[in-house]
Each structure stands twice: as C-alpha cells, then as structure tokens.
C-alpha cells in the first residue's frame, strides 16, 4: 500500500507478475479495514527535503498512520512492524547510540516534524502492546541506501551519486567531518525479516544499521573514485540540527536476531551507482524522444 507521495510505480512493475502480489493506493492518515496477518509500517518520507516540504502532513503520517495501523492490528490480532529511525537520537551526546539512550532532540526545529513524529509513533506502539497485547516490532533504522532510490531523494548518498554522474560539483554541508553509517538496503531488509520472525520475541526498539563509520567527505571521495568523475567538492553551510555523528550500537540485533550487515560500503555503492547510471540514461533517452 502506498499513496505515492514519494514512492514510484516503477518500483513495483517487477512484482506485478506474481499472483500473490496486490497493490492498494491509500494514505495511512485515513483509516482502513483490510484482513491482515502482518503489517510493515514504513509510511513517511525519510528525506529532509521531502518531510520538511509539508511538516504537518509528516507528523500526521507518523502519528495518525501509526494509530490507524495499530487499531487494524489490534482488530485482526496481527503482528505489526514500525520503521522508526536513528533520528530518535537527534544530535547525540552518546556515541555509538544504543537503544537505551534517550537522545538529544530539538522539538522546535525544522527536523522536529519527523523526529518527534517517529518518537510519538514509538510511544503509541509501546502503549498498544501494553494495553492490548499487540505483537509489535520496532526497528530504529540508520542511514540506508541502494537501488530504487529517487534521484531527487535529497539524502547524501543519492545526492553525491547524481552530482558525480552529471559531472557537477558535489555539495558537502559543513566541513564534511560529520560522520554517518551507511547500510545497504539488502542487509536492512534481512534485519526486518529476522525482527518479524515467529521465534523473535523482542518488543522494544532495535537498532538496524551498519556500524562502520565514515565522514561525509569520505563518502564524497569514494563516490568520485568509483564513478571516475571530474566533480569537485564544494562546501555549504551546515543545516540546522544536522547531527555531528551517527553510528548504531547493534549489540541487541546481534544477540537477539543473529544479524549484522555483510555488504561493504564500496560494494553497495557500486550497485547503487550502476542503478543511477541506468536511470539517467533512461531519462536522457525519454527526453530525446520527446524533443
């Protein structure tokens, strides 16, 4: 189910050949009733430009969406997964970030609609579990990348790749010394599956991300090297509330799920760059046909 506020139908074509696959266009802000056994709630833009474009809608998606799906899960006694976020930790004073760290979050800034929306959703999940016995699973997702990202996604990996492939200057905010961890999407989905497995009984948040830590400048240099781009790195002012460091402590995921990432950043970037190259070639050919 999707409302395509940031998703694309192109990402679903390969699934349509399966008789067991069906798609519903719907916005989780509105209530719904469907027969369900499991729910994966990944609704909400995760890119700052997208979630800041309509902050009230972002907050509604996080809170009303979670509430509607939790009520659906309660009615059908379904297991439900919440895609939470490392933004729960804000600009952390503890490094790396374990699940028992409460975070350093600004409730009155440009990122607050997403940060506080996701924090509120976690609270709803906790209370539905305590009050109604709903079988909840919560993943706090750290920076993730891979094929099928939008070229205009606005996050650092897609930005750098598109700029490098076009030969444009690569925009680094601040001096580039801020750190991030980058998890390839296939590793992350494996974590989702393990967290939702029947034998898993953990109902508290679990960090899912790659603990390998890189500066933003490191990432830019790797993208330039892999693409053999002539792009230059330029610097712009750091956005408000941009975290200085971000790295998951995945001790709980290792212990409870037997999970840890296996795909190195270099390998994941190669696959992601190849995808964006195909997308740019396709866009150019379509533009040529129209012209």
Residues noted as catalytic: 114
Beta-strand runs (E) in the chain: 38-41, 79-85, 136-141, 144-145, 170-173, 179-181, 183-184, 206-208, 213-215, 233-236
DSSP state of 270: H
- Give the closest residue to 144 by CA, choosing from 88, 92, 197, 85: 85
- Radius of gyration for the alpha carbons in the chain, expressed in angstroms and rounded: 19
Of 226, 195, 196, give the one whose Cα is nearest residue 208. 195
Residue pair 74/134 in contact by the 8 Å Cβ criterion: yes
* Residue 91 three-state SS: coil
């Amino acid at each position: 189910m999707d409302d395509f506020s940031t998703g694309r139908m192109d990402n679903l074509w390969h699934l349509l050949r399966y008789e067991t696959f069906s798609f519903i266009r719907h916005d989780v802000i509105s209530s719904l009733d469907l027969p369900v056994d499991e729910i994966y709630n990944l609704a909400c833009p995760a890119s700052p430009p997208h979630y800041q474009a309509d902050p009230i809608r972002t907050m509604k998606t996080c809170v009303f969406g979670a509430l509607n799906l939790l009520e659906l899960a309660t009615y059908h006694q379904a297991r439900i997964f919440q895609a939470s976020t490392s933004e729960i930790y804000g600009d952390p004073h503890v490094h790396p970030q374990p699940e028992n760290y409460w975070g350093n979050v600004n409730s009155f800034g440009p990122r607050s609609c997403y940060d506080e929306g996701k924090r509120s959703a976690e609270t709803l999940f906790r209370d539905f579990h305590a009050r109604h016995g709903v079988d909840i699973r919560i993943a706090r997702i750290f920076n993730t990348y891979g094929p099928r990202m939008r070229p205009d996604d606005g996050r650092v990996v897609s930005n750098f790749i598109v700029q490098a492939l076009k030969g444009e200057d690569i925009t680094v905010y601040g001096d580039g010394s801020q750190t991030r961890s980058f998890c390839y999407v296939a590793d992350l989905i494996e974590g989702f599956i393990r967290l939702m497995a029947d034998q898993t009984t953990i109902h508290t948040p679990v960090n899912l991300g790659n603990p390998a830590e890189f500066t933003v400048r490191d990432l830019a240099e790797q993208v330039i090297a892999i693409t053999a781009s002539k792009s230059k790195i330029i610097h712009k002012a750091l956005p408000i509330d941009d975290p200085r460091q971000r790295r998951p402590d995945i001790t709980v995921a290792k212990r409870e799920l037997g999970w840890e990432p296996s795909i190195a950043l270099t390998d994941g970037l190669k696959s992601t760059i190849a995808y964006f190259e195909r997308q740019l070639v396709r866009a150019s050919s379509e533009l040529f046909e129209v012209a």
